[in-house]
Structure 1
């Protein structure tokens, strides 16, 4: 007869020990939550909405020096508010940041998957980060986010200037689903009393111009009941911009369409309206209309009360 006996594991079977560890874990989480500053919470909100930001982007958007950013990010990583991985998209070896376990606790309804908006919720922050790392759109996400980071950095050093709204592709797509648009990002840029809403199409030159131009149809539909915001076609080179402007020449659109290139600062005179190909405009000079004040057809109409940054 066998004399083998079941092997018991006190770590998993002692109720008092489990309860004690659970209490300690909860206390640790609560303590770490109390350590989060307003700036920390803003960063976590960005990562919940926009998935990923580089160390340089976080520095430019929220800090006064690289050293202070590096030290604070190390602290946030240490308390698992953020996770980090090495940037393989540019080869410069800097860290990219996403939500960590504590960050997911703060934002349990964060967007789940940059490639599949309808994907099931990840089981953990690790799985969410793995989806970001493995996304074929990682470089595109970083490029899209760069425009908004540049605007945030500009606003920090200029009075009466602010980025009042920054929505991700998934947020804007859901908000304007009736029109069938899928912008890479949506924002409202305010300079003094001037408010300019815009939709961004971040172009890396991977799609034929005909595909890019077909995207304008949804924005045409949106003008029938919603905002009439400029569509920003931001491309990699002057040559592609010139080709776009030639393709748009003489084509009437219900909303403004402006082109720009990646290397120019988005707040400055970087935008050319398709109807005025010889003139460069500042972002706040572009024509913009928030649309009818009708909650039934335009429920996301921007007002000053809606500023989320």
Structure 2
């Protein structure tokens, strides 16, 4: 549910099988990727294996830096206050198979954090098949006033964004968003035109849910987007720990808007922002505040992309 500022390039059940594939919440992180369910194959993955203190694999990931894309709107188009860096203090592997993204504040009150995006931008299901984009993530273990302004996200943007097509036209799938340390996850599709239909900018076609087995913050949960082209009606489905909480179908939207958002590949992003339109809207005031506590990391155990063969 990325509340957007205006500007050029404005930024933007499954039953047992998925439950088995999605590792349970709260448990310790794994050192290896889970085996895919029957009928699925892994087409891309990162389990963040590497030396403690090293940066994410540069053959897989681009490290975003600064406060905007070149030529894009300031503050990443969403009013965030942090600067993204490639400093291991903000972004590093922990040596135990996890990516660690940590927001920090210096003595002058300036915030820094980390954001990465996949080099590949062609993730989409085959015609007649399905795709899952999934990550196992521990959200920052901070709540209440100390969490005001924290904004964690696992999401995608359409490949056309890199060719200058702005959000929401390029398409955006927010697989998991969490803000202000709430025990709540948001999932959303952004498409169409800024400020207009059919995707209800600035909030998108969105739904939210609580984490039920343990709090969202401070515990590992598995977040999944399934993109289904196996029938004439296409679907996007959002899951937390294998539990479906949101569905959007191609029949709900204008065909041109659906095609513009889903008729091409996407790339994957992970970031931990501070401040911005979404946490501000939830808090009802500007964030972060003087009481927001720096240093609580988001940990990512793995990211996988799986597909099924066409029927």
Instruction: Tell me the TM-score normalized by structure 2.
Output: 0.27
Instruction: Tell me the TM-score normalized by structure 1.
Output: 0.27
- Higher-RCO chain (CA-CA 8 Å, sequence separation at least 6): 2
Q: Which structure has the highest strand share of the two?
A: 2
Which of the pair has more CA radius of gyration? 1
